[in-house]
């Protein structure tokens, strides 16, 4: 297994400094660090009894002050316990679970949950109800999911998720990927991970050596704020991209974190610079405990309109609502198509300039 630098419940050391002429200093625990930054530790402890807390040392070091965009993603808030509007499983994943840990919702693809662990428990997680409550997903359960895939020739695309698949050991990942690659009708394997953002040290040449054996392999990554892209995460992204793994990003639109269009533009441009193609911006799922992160649909339109035409098309992802039990729905700002009839469409560009596009005479 790789060395984990994760911090959970204040039991793991965060900072340990020493020099030749000074004795080692006592390490500062996560609780001490959060308290020093002004965190209400009674509130944090109360929330994490319901929704566990885990913060990687890398991500913790990105926090500049209490309540900043990094803090909000990682540190429990009392608002998580005052959400009486949303539900634990808003996407009805339980309904589409065919065998434990395998979700088959779309005709030709499945989601296989291969890990119950994450490097960090994001406070806005769609699987807030389950992540962090099991030590690790048993390999035997994963094999049951793979057997299901073997028996369903319509499945051509497998998305590995969890938890975070990269929290499995290199050996376990090798076994899982090898078994999937042995199925003739599986054309594409995808991995969803936030590791390059929250624990970039996990991305090593040895890990990449395993992954690159199983092309075509794609990775969908989660970055939520421009400050998450720094030399450490850039090194991880370079290793993955240099291995020929196409990288895409799936960003959640989060109130007070990235719903400023300029912040989102900076994030998208930094991703593209590091060979990560912006893929989706999600409106926040209706998950119990995350209402305080949700934005309006108009906020999503504002972001997309700010990107369209004002930066390269590579930087413009799809705006998506993951509907309850109904799958992903792309949403386009209404400002571009002004009117349409049998003769023509009236359209507007990013500057607000209006044009007519004639329909063909059939």
Ligand-binding annotation for 125, yes or no, is yes
H or E element at residue 113? strand 109-113
Do 187 and 181 contact (CB within 8 A), yes or no? Answer: no
The answer to whether 253 and 283 are in contact (CB under 8 A) is yes
Burial class (CB in 10 A: 0-12, 13-18, 19+), 124: buried
Residue written as token pair 């560009």: 349
Peptide bond into 221 cis (omega under 30): no
With H, G, I as helix, E, B as strand and everything else as coil, classify residue 110: strand
> CA–CA separation, 125 vs 197, rounded Å?
15
Q: Tokens at residue 237, please?
A: 């992204």
Residues near 56 by beta carbon (within 8 Å), at least 6 away in sequence: 5, 6, 7, 119, 120, 198, 199
Alpha helices per DSSP H over the chain: 30-36, 41-48, 57-62, 69-74, 139-150, 170-181, 195-198, 205-211, 231-242, 261-273, 297-307
DSSP string, 143-173: HHHHHHHHT-TT--EEEEESS-GGGS-HHHH
**CB distance 301 to 295 below 8 Å:** no
Query: 118 labelled as ligand-binding?
Result: yes
305 annotated to bind ligand? no
Q: Assign residue 23 a region: left if phi > 0, alpha if psi is -120 to 50, beta otherwise?
A: beta
Active site residues: 105-106, 109, 118, 122, 125, 127, 285, 322, 328
Say how many CA atoms lie within 13 Å of 249 toward its Cβ. Answer: 32
Binding residues: 118, 122, 125
Which residues make up each annotated binding site for [4Fe-4S] cluster?
118, 122, 125
């Amino acid at each position: 297994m790789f060395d984990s630098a994760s911090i959970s419940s204040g039991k793991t050391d965060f900072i340990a400094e020493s020099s030749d002429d000074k004795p080692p200093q006592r390490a500062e625990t996560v609780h001490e660090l959060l308290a020093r930054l002004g965190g209400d530790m009674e509130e944090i402890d109360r929330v994490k009894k319901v929704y566990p807390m885990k913060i990687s040392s890398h991500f913790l070091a990105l926090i500049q002050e209490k309540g900043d965009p990094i803090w909000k993603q990682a540190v429990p808030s009392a608002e998580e316990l005052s959400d009486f509007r949303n539900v634990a499983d808003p996407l009805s994943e339980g309904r589409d679970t065919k065998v434990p840990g395998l979700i088959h919702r779309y005709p030709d693809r499945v989601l296989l949950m291969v890990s119950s662990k994450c490097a960090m428990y994001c406070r806005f997680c769609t699987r807030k109800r389950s992540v962090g409550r099991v030590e690790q997903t048993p390999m035997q359960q994963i094999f049951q999911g793979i057997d299901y895939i073997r028996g369903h020739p319509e499945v051509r695309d497998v998305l590995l998720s969890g938890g975070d698949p990269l929290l499995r050991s290199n050996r376990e990942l090798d076994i899982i990927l090898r078994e999937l690659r042995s199925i003739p009708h599986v054309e594409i394997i995808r991995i969803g991970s936030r590791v390059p953002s929250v624990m970039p040290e996990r991305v090593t040449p040895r890990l990449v050596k395993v992954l690159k054996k199983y092309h075509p392999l794609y990775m969908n990554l989660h970055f939520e704020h421009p400050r998450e892209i720094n030399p450490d995460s850039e090194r991880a992204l370079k290793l993955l991209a240099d291995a020929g793994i196409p990288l895409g990003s799936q960003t959640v639109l989060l109130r007070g974190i990235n719903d400023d269009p300029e912040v989102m533009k900076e994030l998208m441009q930094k991703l593209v610079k590091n060979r990560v193609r912006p893929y989706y911006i999600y409106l926040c799922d209706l998950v119990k405990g995350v209402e305080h992160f949700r934005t309006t649909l108009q906020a999503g339109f504002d972001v997309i309109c700010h990107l369209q035409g004002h930066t390269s098309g590579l930087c413009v992802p799809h705006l998506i609502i993951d509907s309850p039990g109904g799958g992903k729905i792309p949403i386009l700002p209404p400002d571009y198509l002004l009117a349409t009839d049998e003769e023509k469409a009236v359209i507007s560009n990013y500057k607000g300039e209006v044009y007519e596009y004639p329909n063909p005479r059939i």
